[in-house]
């Protein structure tokens, strides 16, 4: 008899609530006015549901390919958090070793690719409902940076944006932006991130040297352009930059999986944001 995964369900519901709060605030409604008009809570649904679908597609792709390759894995653990996004993401925990490089590539790349596809759809839909409006920049204002792909989609859908104007993102587009950001962060080829799995499948033990070099690069980026990269570098070092060995390392990576690795690299380049957030 299977037990009900109460912890997974509870964390998912808490994450739904925390992202719902962010969605309400992003729609321009103050939480303090909810009691005056409880129906305003539904204004947080577009953001919350879109972001959760992106995260679910990412994590369940990992889960599906883990099961397909007979790797024991947990259901997703969602992380609710009172942050700018309402969540710190989600993760699954693999409880048995991965056997081959091909299995590692499938498990590592499937999540970012699935999340990326859903994020593109969300961004296209959200940008079509976004508004271009004059903006007066003031101290304390928060400005979100753009990836190459988000910039391209904005120009295609909204046209050229005048220098004195900016895009007021629809909540669905904001969720798509977060989806791109999460995808790029996961695809960093360091440690046991998804990008680390992909790099280990391609490079083997040379992956550890790559991880060390990229940690230094993140620190330099943190010093030069965005301090958050220093925090991320420290966190990755704490989590560990060494990748666990696979059971059968002598089985080579096939050509289709090599193409998957290249596709993942392209997705990383398209979604990476050098300066995610700027506060004037």
At 134-180, the pLDDT tens digits run 877 777 778 889 999 999 999 999 988 887 778 889 999 999 999 99
For residue 46, what is the enclosing H or E element?
Answer: helix 45-68
Q: Is residue 162 domain-resident?
A: yes
Query: For the residues 231-257, what does the mean pLDDT come to?
Result: 92
Question: Into how many domains does the chain fold?
Answer: 1
Distance CA 108, CA 162 (A): 40
Q: Is residue 1 domain-resident?
A: no
Instruction: Count the neighbouring beta carbons within 10 Å of the beta carbon of residue 240.
Output: 13
Residue 89: closest CA among 185, 208, 160: 185
Q: Which domain holds residue 198?
A: 6-279
> Which positions ≥6 away from 142 have C-beta within 8 Å?
277, 278, 279, 280
Instruction: Please tell me the pTM assigned to this model.
Output: 0.93
Q: In the 8-state DSSP scheme, what is residue 251?
A: S
Q: Is residue 145 domain-resident?
A: yes
Q: Is residue 84 domain-resident?
A: yes
> Tokens 């004059």, residue?
134
SS (H, E, C) 148-171: HHHHHHHHHHHCCCCCCEEEECCH
Per-residue pLDDT of 237-246, as tens digits, reads 998 888 988 9
């Amino acid at each position: 008899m299977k037990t009900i995964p109460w912890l997974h369900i509870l964390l998912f519901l808490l994450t739904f609530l925390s992202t719902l709060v962010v969605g309400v605030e992003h729609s321009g409604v103050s939480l303090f006015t909810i009691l005056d008009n409880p129906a305003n809570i539904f204004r947080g649904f577009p953001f919350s549901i879109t972001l959760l679908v992106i995260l679910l597609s990412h994590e369940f792709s990992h889960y599906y390919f883990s099961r397909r390759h007979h790797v024991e894995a947990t259901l997703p653990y969602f992380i609710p958090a009172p942050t700018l996004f309402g969540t710190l993401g989600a993760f699954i925990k693999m409880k048995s070793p991965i056997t081959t490089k091909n299995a590692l590539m499938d498990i590592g790349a499937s999540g970012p690719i699935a999340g990326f596809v859903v994020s593109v759809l969300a961004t296209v839909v959200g940008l079509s409902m976004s508004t271009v409006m004059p903006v007066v920049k003031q101290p304390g204002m928060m400005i979100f940076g753009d990836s190459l792909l988000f910039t391209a989609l904005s120009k295609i859908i909204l046209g050229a944006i005048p220098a004195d104007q900016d895009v007021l993102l629809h909540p669905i587009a904001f969720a798509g932006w977060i989806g791109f950001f999460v995808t790029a962060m996961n695809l960093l080829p360091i440690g046991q991130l998804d990008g680390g799995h992909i790099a280990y499948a391609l490079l083997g033990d040379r992956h550890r040297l790559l991880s060390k070099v990229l940690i230094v690069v993140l620190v330099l980026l943190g010093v030069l352009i965005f301090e958050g990269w220093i925090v991320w570098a420290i966190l990755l070092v704490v989590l560990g930059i060494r990748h666990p060995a696979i059971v059968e390392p002598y089985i080579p990576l096939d050509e289709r999986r090599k193409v998957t690795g290249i596709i993942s690299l392209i997705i990383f380049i398209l979604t990476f944001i050098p300066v995610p957030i700027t506060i004037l």
